[in-house]
């Protein structure tokens, strides 16, 4: 996986729990979002006798030739985790287990619509999850006939760089100018920052502006505990291990699996 610090620890726990129950040893490797290191580690694990590989790709989208060539170039079965197998060559047998983040975004918009909001802004950091969340937000706002609202991508954080705060301030300005009083924000830390900016302007959350965070890693610790969409990370890990077992037990006789698990909504004080 690209990173074992944020989001993925529950996935690792889910894998570990299922592996212990099955008497399987798990070896963890991280790539630091380096595609070259990913290719190297795939080859190393394959040569080292791994029975199966669970892979969270370094690239946000895996519909690229390099990724598929790397998977096709090894003998070991591969299960993609929190990534999609869409775009893989039809000759490549690869399974995938991921959260249905589009559904999660729809869940958030539906929740805000039930509370009377006729428009919902969307603030995203550029992550692998972001395109799915954006698609779900678009579907749900159209389904509800909502007013067009700002959709903004925030840059990745850099030490000492204030550009993210500027983007958040601009996003809040644009929402208020358009009469939008609610937003879905991915990930949690961006939602907490938006909350701080809103409070700095004497806006009450949720009375003046409602916020739904996406990921639910730290959302409950905000000054106003944030309602959040929680992807089923533990379950994703367990199901990924089970998909590996099915592939090992049945080989090519097992049909390829593309499993999507639905997130849940944890309602707190911000809505």
Q: How confident is the model at residue 162 (pLDDT cuts 50, 70, 90)?
A: low
φ/ψ of residue 230, rounded to 5:
-110, 105
Gap between the Cα atoms of 251 and 254, Å rounded: 6
CA–CA gap between residue 76 and residue 51 (Å, rounded): 6
CB 190 within 8 A of CB 167: no
pLDDT in tens, 27-47: 999 999 898 999 999 999 999
Whole-model pTM? 0.93
Question: What confidence score (pLDDT) does residue 155 get?
Answer: 80
Tell me the β-bridge partners of 230: 264
Domains of the chain and CATH, by start: 8-100+232-262 (3.40.50.2300), 101-230 (3.40.50.2300)
Is residue 53 over pLDDT 90? yes
CB contact at 8 A, 112 and 168: no
Q: pLDDT higher for 244 or 163?
A: 244
Q: What's the pLDDT tens digit per position in 129-149?
A: 999 999 999 999 999 999 999
In sequence order, which residues have a C-beta less than 8 Å from that of residue 233 and are 6 or more positions away? Answer: 7, 8, 10, 11, 14, 99
- For residue 227, the Cα-to-chain-centroid distance in whole angstroms is 17
Q: Which of 221, 251, 231, 186 is nearest to 51 (CA)?
A: 251
Query: What is the pLDDT at residue 62?
Result: 67
Owner of token pair 């999850």: 129
First-to-last C-alpha distance (Å) of the chain: 34
In degrees and rounded to multiples of 5, residue 246 shows phi and psi of: -60, -40
pLDDT bin (cut points 50, 70, 90) of residue 156 is confident
């Amino acid at each position: 996986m690209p990173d074992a610090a944020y989001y993925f620890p529950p996935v690792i726990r889910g894998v570990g729990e299922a592996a212990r129950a099955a008497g399987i040893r798990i070896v963890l490797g991280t790539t630091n979002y380096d595609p070259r290191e990913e290719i190297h580690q795939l080859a190393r694990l394959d040569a080292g006798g791994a029975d199966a590989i669970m892979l969270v790709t370094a690239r946000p989208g895996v519909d690229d030739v390099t990724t598929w060539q790397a998977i096709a170039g090894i003998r070991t079965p591969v299960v993609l985790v929190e990534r999609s197998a869409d775009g893989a060559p039809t000759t490549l047998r690869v399974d995938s287990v991921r959260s249905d983040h589009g559904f999660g975004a729809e869940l958030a918009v539906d929740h805000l619509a039930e509370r009377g909001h006729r428009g919902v802004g969307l603030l995203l950091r550029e992550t692998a999850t972001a395109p799915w969340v954006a698609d779900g937000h678009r579907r749900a706002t159209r389904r509800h006939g909502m007013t067009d609202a700002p959709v903004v991508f925030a840059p990745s954080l850099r030490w000492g760089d204030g550009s993210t705060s500027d983007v958040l301030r601009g996003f809040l300005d644009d929402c208020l100018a358009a009469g939008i009083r609610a937003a879905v924000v991915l990930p949690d830390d961006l939602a907490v920052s938006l909350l701080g900016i809103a409070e700095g302007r004497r806006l009450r959350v949720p009375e003046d502006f409602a916020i739904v965070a996406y990921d639910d890693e730290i959302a409950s610790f905000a000054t106003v505990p944030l309602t959040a969409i929680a992807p089923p990370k533990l379950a994703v890990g367990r199901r990924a291990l089970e998909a590996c077992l099915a592939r090992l037990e049945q080989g090519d006789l097992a049909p390829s699996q593309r499993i999507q698990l639905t997130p849940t909504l944890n309602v707190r004080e911000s809505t």
